[in-house]
Amino acid sequence: MVDWNFLLTIVIASAALVAALFAIYQSYVLRKTVHLQAVLELLRQYTVDFWDERNIVTFELPGKIEKILKDNPGTNFSTLPQKYRNAVRRVSFFFDLLGFLVHHGFLDETIIASFIGGAAIVQFRTLKPLIDNERKLRSDGRFQMYFEDFVVNCLRRPLSELTEFKRLSNNDLDKMNRFARTGHDAT
């Protein structure tokens, strides 16, 4: 004779297990969706205007920063000459946000470091005196801490992870040209 109560308990427990597994899977999918949204938002900020500002911080400011700080040792983000102020703010806050997302696991550090870690190191090296002055002004050592944390982690990586790329060989280019002419790989 079949014990219907036992059978019903097994069915209900199985349904609960399936529901729990489905909830865990949904949580995973939702987390990936949030990560993707964060990446897309960052890419929206990574525009031509950003590149222009990044070039100011990379190429113009390093030659000027020493003189600016010599003339006014307490120079911070707000007291920079207007020409540099917006570029410094936008670049540093972009990298701080990027560092925040990496630090809290929203973005994979290996991928982000290999994509933009070298640039972050260069930018931080230029901006560090200003960041230090801003920290003193605010009495807050946490200012731009995610930017700095990201740079420290990039510096701990092997240099090859930040700079190594695969390049097309002449043989690869020949294959691409043959494919473009014939529509198939004629190896």
pLDDT in tens, the chain (187 residues): 668 888 888 888 888 888 888 888 887 777 767 767 777 777 777 677 788 899 999 999 988 888 898 898 888 888 998 889 999 999 999 999 999 989 998 888 888 888 888 889 999 999 999 999 999 998 888 999 999 999 999 988 877 666 655 566 777 677 777 777 776 655 5
Range of the domain at 135: 46-182
Considering the domain architecture, whether residues 34 and 76 belong to the same structural domain is answered as: no
Considering the domain architecture, whether residues 138 and 91 belong to the same structural domain is answered as: yes
> Considering the domain boundaries, does residue 187 fall inside one?
no
Instruction: Give the number of domains in the chain.
Output: 2
Considering the domain architecture, whether residues 38 and 75 belong to the same structural domain is answered as: no
> What are the angstrom distances between the C-alpha of 74 and each of 46, 61, 68, 147?
30, 16, 9, 21
> What are the angstrom distances between the C-alpha of 175 and each of 82, 181, 185?
51, 10, 7
